[in-house]
Chains A and B, each alone.
Chain A
Amino acid sequence: MRTLFEPGFFASAPVHVALAIGAVTAIVSAVVGVFTVIRSQSFAGHALTDVATTGGSGAFYLGISPLLGFIGGGVIGAGAMDLVGVQRVRSRDMATGVVLGSASGLAALFLYLDTTQSATTGATQQILFGSIFTVDPSTIPLVVILSVVTLLAIGLIYRPLLISSFSAELARARGINARGIGLVFMIAMAVAVGLSSIAVGSILSTALLIGPAATSVRLVTHVRSAVIVASVIGVVTAWLGILFAYDSYYWMPSTQGLPVSFFIVALIFLSYLASGLPVVHRTIEWLRGSFGRSPSRTTSLSSAAT
């Protein structure tokens, strides 16, 4: 135990905040992420972090609440992507790209104005890379409330979202407004991504959104179990990453530890690579066999490869 947990890990207040924020964002990102991966919207999910960051740097410049900037930026970005045509598979890629490119340009301007007109240093790095250890505890309640709202929104549109993600024809036959559902999902994704960008930085935001979800989709066939597995992977990697980052202050020869985002992303990446190994699949088959689960009657993930 001593060698695993360096002194003071359990007593440190920033660590408590980081563990709480890490768990909340990991779960919301994982739930939204499973649908993002199934719908092949990873690019949009990632682009929204950058768009949210633009909103954050704009809010920083205008002196309004950064959280408002992050979420506002993301929601506007999601709306713009929908206008350019993110709902059609053919133009999805380009629509996302055009919005992302415009947002990058604006971010360049805002960050330039931030750094030249105010004397605050570290703005660029803080906004781009964020640190879970420097989260302001006063933002936690708001982060939790918005996370719950996002989860409720996903829960509310769960069936139609699931159907329209798997088959456009089936959705049409059932009278589902696929574009409306798609837009609601994009906005939910924007809020989730904006929250995680401000809480854990834009790198971790994408990693927690896509990584655990892509891993779980390779491991299990039910959407519901994928959501649970992704949440577990997200929380475990986030907590382990926080632990390693804390410990790394004692490992490194320099006084600087390694950033927490590095550890969390590395763990997520490794778990994705591991999920492709035949050994892991055989173990899951064996587990399934010994617990006697019958094959699914609901939509199975393997049928949604496209």
Chain B
Amino acid sequence: MFSGFMINAWQAGTIVAVVAGVVGFFVVLRGSAFPAHAIPNGAFAGAAGANLIGINPLIGLGVFSLAAALGIGGLSRRGRPDAVTALALVMMLALGAAFLSQSTQYEPEIFSLLFGEILGVSTSQILPVAVLGIVSIACVAVLYRRLLLTSIAPEMAAARGLRPQTIDTAFLIVVAMATTMTVPVVGALLIFTLMIGPPAAARCFTDRTERALGLSVAFALVTVWLAIVCSYKTNWPVGFFVSTFSLTFFLAGRLFQTVQMRRSALAIGSVVLACS
């Protein structure tokens, strides 16, 4: 399990998990789940297009995910953001369907673009994944305070002269970068799962930002590692396990939250009783 091609899977999976944990934390915090779903799916169309004209799929992925980020960011200024995101998504998927109709691709290739093939990662794929991963985490680090401020206290951010829409577009570009590197590895549908499940779970456990960010990365890592192990043992698609473990973390977080709330309600109740 730790030899040969599996080494690549472990390396790629670990990088993807860290990036998804960090970027996903802000996706959940900012309520950008829909763009985070739309950008990887749109990028899938880019890969199909690149395949059709015979260039590196990574270029197609990059161009399309960037176009998606800029398109969603730009059109959102003058329309309802969620409707605009839906329209941008279906437009790119339709382009993808058009590309696929003109190419003679085999079905398994479509399947792997959508659902990923982490066990089939090649050594040459690791370097671009690592580079894009480091760049997107660096961007998050640079934007960190601004992202937090515009998400948590929009009024204060406006008072400091931050333009929320500019920050939004900048963040979508970071999502686009994270997408470009992760789609070939875990697939368009499951990078989304990894960006939502672990961060949403982490926020149930703590209110502190740094702690939640750390937990989010930890949950994402455990999810990916367990998923690789299970996928290796059963030969079932890795995406199924990624979503199962993400959901388990989320449900555990919800349970923890409910228990905490009950307990604090009880504590307040007893204080009130003691005072009266």
Which A residues fall within an 8 A CB radius of B? Answer: 37, 40-43, 45-47, 50, 90, 93-94, 96-98, 100-102, 104-109, 111-112, 115, 121-125, 128-129, 203-204, 206-207, 209-211, 213-214, 217-218, 252, 254, 256-259, 261-262, 264-266, 268-269, 272, 276
**A-contact bits for B45-88, CB 8 A (1 contact / 0 none):** 00000000000000000000000000000000011101111110
With A93-B31, A97-B200 as known contacts, state yes or no: A211 contacts B90, CB within 8 Å. Answer: yes
Residue of A nearest to B108 (CB): A115
Q: Tell me which of B102, B107, B240 contacts A115 (CB under 8 A).
A: B107
26 A–B contact pairs at CB < 8 A? A40-B80, A46-B86, A93-B33, A94-B196, A94-B200, A98-B196, A100-B37, A104-B189, A105-B190, A105-B239, A105-B244, A108-B187, A108-B189, A112-B115, A112-B237, A112-B240, A115-B108, A128-B114, A206-B89, A207-B90, A210-B90, A252-B102, A256-B101, A259-B98, A259-B101, A262-B101
Q: Of all chain B residues, which has the CB nearest A112?
A: B237
Cα-based distance from A45 to B34 in the complex (angstroms): 11
- Is there an interface contact between A94 and B33, defined as CB atoms closer than 8 Å? yes
Chain B residues near A97 (CB, 8 Å)?
28, 33-34, 36-37, 192, 196, 200
Given A94-B28, A214-B80, A272-B87: A101 and B197 interface contact (C-beta under 8 Å): yes
Within 8 A of A (CB), among B156-209: 187, 189-190, 192-193, 196-197, 200
**Contact assessment for B33 and A121 in the assembled complex, using a CB-CB cutoff below 8 Å:** no
The answer to whether A206 touches B86 (Cβ under 8 A) is: yes
Q: Measured between alpha carbons, how far is A37 from B89 in the docked complex, in Å?
A: 16
Encode contact with A along B220-250: 1 for CB under 8 Å, 0 otherwise.
0000000000000000110111111011001
Q: Which residues of B contact A41 (CB under 8 A)?
A: 82
B91 within 8 A of A: yes
- Chain B contact residues, CB within 8 Å of chain A: 28, 31-34, 36-37, 78-80, 82-87, 89-91, 93-95, 97-98, 100-102, 107-108, 110-111, 114-115, 187, 189-190, 192-193, 196-197, 200, 236-237, 239-244, 246-247, 250
Give every chain A residue within 8 A of B102 (Cβ-Cβ). Answer: 252, 254, 256, 258
Expressed in whole angstroms, the minimum distance between the Cβ of B242 and any Cβ of chain A is 6
A19 to B241, CA, bound (A): 41
Given contacts A96-B33, A105-B242, A108-B239, contact A269 B189 (CB under 8 A): no
Q: Which of A93, A102, A111, A211 contacts B115 (CB 8 A)?
A: A111
Whether B97 and A261, one on each chain, are in contact in the complex, defined by CB atoms closer than 8 angstroms, is: yes
Given contacts A112-B237, A256-B101, A268-B87, contact A42 B196 (CB under 8 A): no
Q: How far is the CB of B121 from chain A (nearest CB, A)?
A: 17
* Residues of chain A with a CB closer than 8 A to B107's CB: 115, 121-125
What is the bound-complex CA distance between A37 and B115, given in angstroms? 29
Q: How far is the CA of A269 from the CA of B95 in the complex (A)?
A: 12
CB distance from A278 to the nearest CB of B (A): 11
Whether A42 and B80, one on each chain, are in contact in the complex, defined by CB atoms closer than 8 angstroms, is: yes
For B33, the chain A residues whose CB sits under 8 A away are 43, 93-94, 96-97
Q: Is the CB of A261 within 8 A of B94?
A: yes
Name the one of B80, B91, B239 contacting A104, with C-beta atoms under 8 angstroms.
B239
Kindly provide the distance from the CB of B216 to the nearest chain A CB, expressed in whole angstroms: 13
A37 to nearest B CB, angstroms?
Answer: 5
Complex: how many Å from CA A109 to CA B187? 13
Q: Which of B79, B90, B97, B187 contacts A259 (CB 8 A)?
A: B97
Which A residues touch B108, using CB under 8 A?
A: 115
Q: Is A106 in contact with B243, judged by CB distance below 8 angstroms?
A: yes
Best-buried of A98, A261, A262 by chain B (most CB within 10 Å): A98
Report the separation of the CA atoms of residues A261 and B97 in the bound assembly, to the nearest whole angstrom: 8
Nearest B residue (CB) for A99: B247
Q: A222 CB to closest chain B CB, in angstroms?
A: 18
- Contact present for A265 and B110 (CB under 8 Å): no
Alpha-carbon distance between A264 and B97 when the two chains are bound, in angstroms: 12
Contact indicator A43/B86 (Cβ below 8 Å): yes
List of B residues within 8 angstroms of A204 by Cβ: 90
Q: Which residues of B contact A47 (CB under 8 A)?
A: 37
- Pick from B84, B97, B197, B237: contact of A109, CB below 8 A: B237
How far, in angstroms, from A229 to B95 measured CA to CA in the complex? 26
| Given A94-B28, A94-B200, A111-B115, also A206-B243 (CB < 8 A) | no
Return B234 CB to nearest CB of chain A, in Å. Answer: 10
Q: How far is the CB of A50 from chain B (nearest CB, A)?
A: 8
Least CB separation from B200: chain A residue: A94
Cβ contact within 8 Å between A129 and B97: yes
Q: Is the CB of A42 within 8 A of B83?
A: yes
Q: State A210–B114 Cα separation when bound (angstroms).
A: 23
Residues from chain A with Cβ under 8 Å of B28 in the complex: 94, 97
